[in-house]
Amino acid sequence: MDPETVNKNNFSVSIETAGGAVLSPIIRSVLVDSEEGNILVVELDNEIMYNDDVVKISYTPGDLGTLDAVASEAFTDAVLTDFIKVNLFDDPTSNVDNSFETSEVSNWPYLWWGAPWDAYSMSFSFDQAHSGSKSMYLEFEPNGGMIIGNTDADGNNVTFPTEKGFKYEMGAWIYVVDLGTPVTSNLRMFWRPSTDWGVADNPNFNATTPIGEWFYTSVTVSFAADGNESFMLRGQNVNSETLKFYMDDLTLYKLTNRP
């Protein structure tokens, strides 16, 4: 976008809260992103957005256009979905190797649940990576599954801190190589010692799952207590063919709700 054509007065923002209120915040500034020139950064005046808000933005045509003089069209109540969130695993103090750059197979050991949770293979590959140079490569055998934990070189659980009373977004990036027959299979992200065994599939694999491209999957979770938890990844393949996929960039975002 051409920075000279940006005028904050051509934009308006509304915030719909979970409680049903509609707020009309004042826009402090609208600027072209310094790194990605096709993105506009909108700053609000003394207003905080929360993860349970629905934020909408509208544009009334003015002079806004690209550097090659292509004018921008009007839009009304476009819902903003990309809130700024901080991945707790990206913190330099985090012990979780969420992009698997330094992980070895021994760091993600089988947890000895018995059949069918031992019918899998796991390795680390340079063939596909969502970020960095490595990802985890998984194959679930026909009617098989997997259960693995996360430990350090001494066999101790690799942990991450959690807080009771908050919601978190837990997710990963997935690249499916071979889905097998279109029968729903799944991966679930559990944790120990105080997991929620009812946590949703993350993801489920079905006939509409993308193949040959990275996609993001996540669920909202809550933790039963303040403390330190450690991953348990449990996969299930109910197909008669092998399920093959890569996984990369584990995420954990602490979500904030409007008081």
**According to the model, what pLDDT value does residue 50 have?**
87
Residue with tokens 């826009």: 27
Token pair, residue 194, equals 């105080």
Q: Domain 88-255 classified CATH 2.60.120.260?
A: yes
Question: Does residue 82 surpass a pLDDT of 80?
Answer: no
Which of the pair, 34 or 191, is modelled with greater confidence?
191
Q: What is the DSSP letter of 144?
A: -
Arithmetic mean of pLDDT, 96-105: 98
Distance CA 119, CA 106 (A): 17
Distances (CA, A) of 239 to 119, 181, 184, 251: 13, 6, 8, 28
- As a three-state string, the secondary structure of 24-60 is CCCEEEEEECCCCCCCEEEEECCCCCCCCCEEEEEEC
For residue 5, give every residue at least 6 positions away whose Cβ sits within 8 Å of its Cβ, in sequence order, or none: 62, 63, 64, 65
All structural domains of the chain with their residue ranges: 3-80, 88-255
**Cα-flanking dihedrals φ and ψ of residue 7, to 5°?**
-135, 115
Distance CA 243, CA 140 (A): 5
How would residue 256 be classed by pLDDT, with cut points 50, 70 and 90?
confident
Radius of gyration for the alpha carbons in the chain, expressed in angstroms and rounded: 22
Question: Does residue 84 surpass a pLDDT of 80?
Answer: no
Task: Return mean pLDDT, the chain.
Answer: 94
Residue count (the chain)? 259
pTM of the model: 0.80
Question: Does residue 104 surpass a pLDDT of 80?
Answer: yes
Arithmetic mean of pLDDT, 21-37: 92
Question: Does residue 52 surpass a pLDDT of 80?
Answer: yes
Identity of the amino acid at 152: D
**According to the model, what pLDDT value does residue 150 have?**
98
Distance CA 59, CA 78 (A): 9
* CA-CA-CA-CA torsion sign (209, 210, 212, 215): negative
Arithmetic mean of pLDDT, 50-68: 90
